[in-house]
C-alpha cells in the first residue's frame, strides 16, 4: 500500500537509522516543524552508542568518551540537558611491560619528560608536529569534514611516521594512537587518521556523559515526538518526482495487504517530502540506487570489533583512564579503558571496571570463539598490568559493522562522495563515516542533512 502525504501544511521526513546521526537529524527536522518517522532495523536505538546497566556497573560497550574538539556534540548534549564530566587526565602507553603515564592537559610537557621515547626520537618528532600544525592552519584537518585532507591521503600512518620520525615513534606513538582511534595497527590506516587524531590529543582533555554515553540517546528519544519504528528494516528508497518513497516492513504481526493472511510483516510504502539515510554506506547502497553511494560502499569497508567489559572487586592502582597497547606489547589487544577512572558512576565505589578492546584483525580471527575464550584472553594483559583484582563481572560485545576502515585512499573516496551530495536533493546522508569517525561527526552530519532538507523546502515555497 502507499500512504499519501499527511493532511495539513507540515512536511514529512523519513530517517533511516536511529543512531546518533539519525536521531540528531530527526530532532532538527522536528524543531523546524516537520513530521518525522524514524526506521531502525535493530530492536533498540543508539547504534554504536550503547550503555548497559549490569550488577551496579554501567558498561559503555561502544562509544566511550568525548574529545575537547567535539564542539557540535557538546552543544547538543548541553541543549538536551546531559551532564558532561571530565575524565581522569592521564593516559598510559605500555612499553617493556610497564605503563608510561602522560597527562593530557599537559601533553607537551609530559611528552618532553617521558621515558616512553628517546631524545633522538623526540627531536625527530618536531618535523612531524610541524607538518601537522601547518595542515591544521591550512584548514585541512577539520575533524567533522576532512575533505580538504584528501590530497594527503596517499600513505599509511606507519609509512608517514617512519618517514618523518622513525620506527620508535611509530611503535610507541603512532600505533597506539591508530589503535585507540580505529582499533587498527598503523599500517592499516591512512596518515590522515593519525594527523587528525593527534590534533584532538593536543586539545588536552576528554569527557564523558554522566549516566553513560547512551545518556544522549535517551535524551534524544525523550525529546522527539517522532514515530521511532524499531525492528523495522527499510527495503527500498526511491525518488518519485519531488518526493521520496520509503518501503519498509509493516511491523511485527502485520497482515499482508494482498492476501489478508497474518504472517510475515507486510511491506508498506510511504511518501515523504525528504529522507535522511543515516546508516553505513553498504546498508544505504543496498536500498538506494545512488551510483556515487555504491562506489563509496565498495571502497569504504567497515571492520568488526570485540569489546570486553570486566568488573573487578578492587580498583586498579593507576590514575590512567586509558592504557594503550602497541603491537609489540600485545598483538591482539589494542587498548584497555579504565572505566572506573573515566567516571565514578561507571562502577560501584571501590570496584574496578575495564573495557578491553581488541585490534581489528584479531577480532576477525576470534569472532566465532566462545565468550569464555575471549574473556580469558582479555584478562591476560589486565592481570599482567594490574595484578589479580578479583573478577566479578564479564560481558562480551561483538560489533559488526564497527568502524570505517580508512586505508589510504578512503578519505579521497569520502571527499568525492561528500562533494557529490546535492544539498537540494530530497535524499540526504548522515553518519560518522562522512569524516573521521566519532560522535561529533555523527551529530554534525545529522544536523547538516536536516538543514539541507529544511532549506530545500523553504526555497520551494
CB atoms near residue 394 (< 10 Å): 18
Residue 111 pLDDT: 87
Domain that holds residue 172: 118-202
The verdict on 258 and 390 lying in the same domain is no
In 3D, which of 2, 11, 117, 23 has the Cα closest to residue 447?
23
The verdict on 295 and 419 lying in the same domain is yes
Q: How many domains does the chain have?
A: 3
Distance of CA 142 to the CA centre of its chain: 17
Note whether residue 124 is domain-resident: yes
How do beta strands 391-399 and 352-358 pair?
Answer: unpaired
Sheet-wide strand order for 243-249 = 2-3, 267-272, 243-249, 234-240
Which of 147, 174, 202 marks a domain boundary?
Answer: 202
CA distance 309 to 358: 12
How do the pLDDT tens digits run along the chain, 461 residues long? 334 344 333 899 999 999 999 999 999 999 999 999 999 999 999 999 999 999 999 999 999 999 877 899 999 999 999 999 999 999 999 999 999 999 988 888 888 899 999 999 999 999 999 999 999 999 998 877 888 999 999 999 999 999 999 999 999 999 999 999 999 999 999 999 999 988 876 666 789 999 999 999 999 999 999 999 999 999 999 999 999 999 998 743 232 333 334 444 578 999 999 999 999 999 999 999 999 999 999 999 999 999 999 999 999 999 999 999 999 999 999 999 999 999 999 999 999 999 999 999 999 999 999 999 999 999 999 999 999 999 999 999 999 999 999 999 999 999 999 999 999 999 999 999 999 999 999 999 999 999 999 999 888 77
The verdict on 411 and 297 lying in the same domain is yes
The verdict on 277 and 417 lying in the same domain is yes
In 3D, which of 456, 450, 413 has the Cα closest to residue 433?
413
- Tell me the three state secondary structure of residue 100: strand
Note whether residue 179 is domain-resident: yes
In 3D, which of 116, 172, 118, 453 has the Cα closest to residue 326?
172
The verdict on 379 and 314 lying in the same domain is yes
Residue 8 pLDDT: 37
Q: What is the CATH number of the domain that holds 136?
A: 1.10.405.10
Note whether residue 101 is domain-resident: no
The verdict on 31 and 158 lying in the same domain is no
Residue 122 pLDDT: 96
Note whether residue 242 is domain-resident: yes
Q: What is the pTM of this model?
A: 0.93
The verdict on 36 and 156 lying in the same domain is no
The verdict on 322 and 258 lying in the same domain is no
Q: What is the CATH number of the domain that holds 249?
A: 3.50.50.60
Q: What is the CATH number of the domain that holds 376?
A: 3.90.660.10
Residue 430 pLDDT: 98
Residue 104 pLDDT: 85
The verdict on 294 and 423 lying in the same domain is yes
The verdict on 192 and 253 lying in the same domain is no
Note whether residue 113 is domain-resident: no
The verdict on 43 and 191 lying in the same domain is no
Q: Name the H helices within 184-301.
A: 191-202, 215-223, 281-287, 291-299
In 3D, which of 328, 387, 329, 400 has the Cα closest to residue 354?
387
Amino acid at each position: 500500500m502507499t500512504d499519501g502525504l499527511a493532511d495539513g501544511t507540515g512536511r514529512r521526513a523519513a530517517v533511516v537509522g536511529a543512531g546518533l546521526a539519525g536521531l540528531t537529524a530527526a530532532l532538527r527536522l522536528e524543531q523546524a516543524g516537520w513530521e518525522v518517522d524514524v526506521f531502525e532495523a535493530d530492536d533498540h536505538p543508539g547504534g554504536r552508542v550503547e550503555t548497559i546497566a549490569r550488577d551496579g556497573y554501567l558498561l559503555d560497550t561502544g562509544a566511550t568518551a568525548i574529545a575537547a574538539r567535539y564542539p557540535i556534540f557538546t552543544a547538543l548534549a548541553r541543549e538536551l540537558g546531559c551532564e558532561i564530566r571530565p575524565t581522569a587526565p592521564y593516559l598510559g602507553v605500555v612499553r617493556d611491560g610497564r605503563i608510561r603515564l602522560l597527562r593530557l592537559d599537559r601533553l607537551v610537557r609530559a611528552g618532553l619528560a617521558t621515558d616512553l621515547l628517546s631524545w633522538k626520537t623526540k627531536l625527530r618528532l618536531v618535523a612531524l608536529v610541524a607538518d601537522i600544525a601547518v595542515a591544521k592552519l591550512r584548514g585541512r584537518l577539520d575533524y567533522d569534514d576532512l575533505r580538504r585532507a584528501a590530497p594527503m591521503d596517499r600513505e599509511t600512518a606507519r609509512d608517514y611516521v617512519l618517514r618523518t620520525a622513525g620506527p620508535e615513534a611509530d611503535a610507541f606513538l603512532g600505533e597506539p594512537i591508530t589503535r585507540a582511534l580505529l582499533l587498527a595497527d598503523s599500517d592499516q590506516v591512512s596518515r590522515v587518521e593519525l594527523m587528525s587524531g593527534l590534533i584532538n590529543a593536543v586539545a588536552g582533555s576528554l569527557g564523558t556523559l554522566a549516566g553513560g554515553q547512551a545518556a544522549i540517546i535517551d535524551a534524544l528519544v525523550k525529546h522527539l515526538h517522532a514515530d521511532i519504528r524499531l525492528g523495522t528494516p527499510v527495503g527500498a528508497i526511491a525518488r518519485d518526482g519531488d518526493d521520496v518513497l520509503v518501503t519498509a516492513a509493516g511491523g511485527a504481526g502485520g497482515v499482508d495487504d494482498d492476501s489478508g493472511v497474518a504472517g510475515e510483516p507486510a511491506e508498506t510504502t510511504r511518501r515523504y517530502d525528504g529522507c535522511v539515510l543515516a546508516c553505513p554506506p553498504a546498508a544505504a547502497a543496498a536500498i538506494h540506487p545512488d551510483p556515487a553511494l555504491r562506489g563509496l560502499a565498495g571502497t569504504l569497508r567497515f571492520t568488526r570489533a570485540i569489546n570486553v567489559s570486566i568488573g573487578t572487586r578492587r580498583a586498579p592502582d593507576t590514575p590512567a583512564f586509558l592504557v594503550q597497547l602497541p603491537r609489540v606489547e600485545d598483538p591482539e589487544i589494542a587498548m584497555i579503558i579504565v572505566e572506573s577512572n573515566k567516571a565514578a558512576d561507571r562502577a560501584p565505589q571501590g570496584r574496578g571496571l575495564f573495557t578491553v578492546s581488541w585490534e581489528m584483525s584479531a577480532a576477525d580471527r576470534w569472532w566465532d570463539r566462545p565468550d569464555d575464550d575471549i574473556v580469558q584472553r582479555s584478562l591476560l594483559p589486565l592481570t599482567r598490568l594490574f595484578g589479580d583484582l578479583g573478577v566479578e563481572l564479564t560481558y562480551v560485545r561483538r560489533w559488526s559493522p564497527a568502524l570505517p576502515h580508512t586505508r589510504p585512499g578512503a578519505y579521497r573516496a569520502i571527499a568525492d562522495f561528500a562533494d557529490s551530495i546535492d544539498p537540494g536533493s530530497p535524499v540526504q546522508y548522515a553518519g560518522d563515516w562522512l569524516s573521521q569517525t566519532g560522535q561529533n561527526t555523527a551529530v554534525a552530519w545529522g544536523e547538516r542533512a536536516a538543514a539541507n532538507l529544511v532549506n530545500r523546502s523553504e526555497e520551494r515555497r
